[in-house]
Chain A
């Protein structure tokens, strides 16, 4: 039985953006750890061949954003898009050839990331409007107030098989655990805005721990990470997060990890489950 939440009290509100155009700052090079520059695609636009459920590592790209990337050119409206949208919210195309088609929010990077079925992606044009039915801000576990939820839609919480262990503790399926010492870029931002990259620069460590098998959409656990009011180290804290974008060649960067649940004390346990991916939970596609 799903954990009790206050979902019946949440407000559902429309926010809107449009399909973004990939942009480069001349001359467009991204430096890898050896200082070698390369021009790499991945951010903004519609990425046709990377969706949640696909690998987070191994693309000839940088920070690959699966699916369609949505932004609003008005800064204040864009912040509303960022702060109100939750993972699992419904997105509806409101202009262009795909008008009326529905997608699902799968991440938040510098833009909101929306998965559409391939036949819809084929019809999307840069600039097409996408409206999101934002719902999830304010959501709480009624019986676990010490666990802070961020960007969880009611649909996502219902779909993840979360178990009540005792009156203080829940258990969540994840595909892997990340060590706190590799949490990197994004530490300077507030934890209600976008993600924090894991730092994949130690390639041997990625292989040793199996982190390089991470998929877009995977749920992960980070021990000692307190993401309630910042992204910081606290012994005993736990954060459950979502992989929202692909790996990076840049030092201090890597796949994007977005906070879903966090607590300052060890109130969240986890169990390793290779199916702990939102492609599975939100019925987006079958995992390979």
Chain B
């Protein structure tokens, strides 16, 4: 490991969720969402077992609203679900405990925010075939509480020791934490999730303005890509602050809604210039965790 941490003191603890069903509002509400231009759409959104979208695939182009790759879990009990959503870390091992896929192992790849609050897990497509909505999955949560010995101003969130290892972070001559990322998201393209907690949930890259998206070099993002968030302080919630910087994982796909787009799971933040993103093509957790197809 290139930077020292307190990882050997971290507690490994169970948090449980069940495979969540896709959900729609009850009658007489209409099932439609509205695009940024006001057109009604009816598409799959969060939840369920997604058989054909995985981490490593494009974040764009799916006929879906913020689709979660792989399997989404949550717990009906609200406080229990917060425990799951906060303590699960990207890179943690998840184990199926019930049903035909019992014993299958997966990896936590992201979290979703307000209105769904799921933990998103990669399982092999073969394992997904055996699963049922409602199956219980245990996440062996480990990572909350982790700090970097030489970088006290960098806060880690939803970050497992395995993710930190795999990111191959280094310390620059100036003492900053250098983190390889595929792109840097400018603050005017950070949308839904602002002001909400950074210990779980997601902060969305907004994509209604396609030329602004292209200009920022964000139009080819893949699910699982590591990105930097410019002028974004996520110390407790996500918010604007010049010089602050965050690092996150693209956890969910694009959205046709205003203010929305690929959702980012925050893994690091510093309120000052203590993180240096190094733009490097192809930095994706599919490779970091060697996720099975």
Residues of A within 8 A of B (CB): 31, 33, 35, 180-188, 190-191, 197, 199, 201-202, 204-205, 224, 226-235, 250-253, 264
- Closest residue of B by beta carbon distance from A204: B242
On whether the beta carbons of B258 and A188 are closer than 8 Å, the reply is no
Q: With contacts A188-B192, A232-B257 known, what are 17 further pairs, Cβ within 8 A?
A: A33-B271, A35-B236, A186-B195, A187-B193, A187-B259, A188-B113, A188-B204, A190-B34, A205-B242, A227-B258, A230-B34, A231-B259, A232-B209, A233-B188, A235-B211, A250-B239, A251-B241
On whether the beta carbons of B36 and A199 are closer than 8 Å, the reply is no
- Given contacts A181-B231, A231-B258, whether A252 and B34 have CB atoms under 8 Å apart is no
B54 within 8 A of A: no
Q: 28 A-B pairs, CB-CB below 8 angstroms?
A: A181-B187, A183-B194, A184-B194, A184-B239, A186-B195, A187-B192, A187-B194, A188-B204, A190-B34, A199-B194, A199-B195, A201-B233, A201-B240, A201-B241, A226-B208, A229-B34, A229-B36, A229-B38, A231-B259, A232-B209, A233-B189, A235-B212, A250-B195, A251-B195, A251-B238, A252-B194, A252-B237, A252-B239
Report the minimum CB–CB distance from A195 to chain B (whole Å): 11
- Closest residue of B by beta carbon distance from A190: B34
On whether the beta carbons of B195 and A234 are closer than 8 Å, the reply is no
Cβ contact of B259, chosen from A197, A199, A230, A253, cutoff 8 A = A230
Report the Cα distance A224→B189, complex, angstroms: 11
Describe B's contact surface by its main secondary structure.
loop
Cβ contact of A188, chosen from B115, B239, B240, cutoff 8 A = B115
Report the Cα distance A204→B272, complex, angstroms: 14
On whether the beta carbons of A185 and B258 are closer than 8 Å, the reply is no
On whether the beta carbons of A33 and B233 are closer than 8 Å, the reply is yes
Report the Cα distance A197→B196, complex, angstroms: 11
Report the Cα distance A232→B208, complex, angstroms: 7
B60 within 8 A of A: no
Report the Cα distance A187→B257, complex, angstroms: 11
Report the minimum CB–CB distance from A247 to chain B (whole Å): 13
Report the minimum CB–CB distance from B259 to chain A (whole Å): 4
Report the Cα distance A54→B32, complex, angstroms: 41
Residues of B within 8 A of A (CB): 34-38, 113-115, 186-189, 191-196, 204, 206, 208-209, 211-212, 231, 233-242, 257-260, 271
Query: Residues of B contacting A253 with CB < 8 Å?
Result: 195, 237, 239
On whether the beta carbons of B196 and A188 are closer than 8 Å, the reply is yes
Query: Residues of A contacting B193 with CB < 8 Å?
Result: 187-188
- Given contacts A180-B188, A199-B195, A230-B260, whether A31 and B236 have CB atoms under 8 Å apart is yes
List the 3 shortest-distance A-B pairs measured between CB atoms, nearest first.
A185-B195, A230-B258, A252-B195
Query: Residues of A contacting B114 with CB < 8 Å?
Result: 188
On whether the beta carbons of B191 and A187 are closer than 8 Å, the reply is yes
Report the Cα distance A252→B203, complex, angstroms: 11
Of residues A202, A226, A233, A234, which shows the largest number of chain B Cβ atoms within 10 Å of its Cβ?
A233
- Given contacts A229-B36, A233-B212, whether A201 and B239 have CB atoms under 8 Å apart is yes
Report the Cα distance A31→B196, complex, angstroms: 12
Report the Cα distance A185→B195, complex, angstroms: 4
Report the minimum CB–CB distance from B274 to chain A (whole Å): 15
Report the Cα distance A252→B232, complex, angstroms: 9
Report the minimum CB–CB distance from A113 to chain B (whole Å): 19
Query: Residues of A contacting B257 with CB < 8 Å?
Result: 229-230, 232
Query: Residues of B contacting A224 with CB < 8 Å?
Result: 188
On whether the beta carbons of B236 and A250 are closer than 8 Å, the reply is yes
Report the Cα distance A204→B196, complex, angstroms: 22
Report the Cα distance A46→B238, complex, angstroms: 30
Of residues B37, B209, B233, B239, which shows the largest number of chain A Cβ atoms within 10 Å of its Cβ?
B239
- Closest residue of B by beta carbon distance from A232: B258
Report the Cα distance A222→B94, complex, angstroms: 44
On whether the beta carbons of B260 and A197 are closer than 8 Å, the reply is no
- Given contacts A229-B34, A231-B259, whether A199 and B191 have CB atoms under 8 Å apart is no
On whether the beta carbons of B192 and A184 are closer than 8 Å, the reply is no
Query: Residues of B contacting A204 with CB < 8 Å?
Result: 242
Report the Cα distance A231→B36, complex, angstroms: 9
Query: Residues of A contacting B38 with CB < 8 Å?
Result: 228-229
Cβ contact of B258, chosen from A182, A226, A252, cutoff 8 A = A226
Query: Residues of A contacting B196 with CB < 8 Å?
Result: 185, 188, 252
Query: Residues of B contacting A229 with CB < 8 Å?
Result: 34-38, 257-258
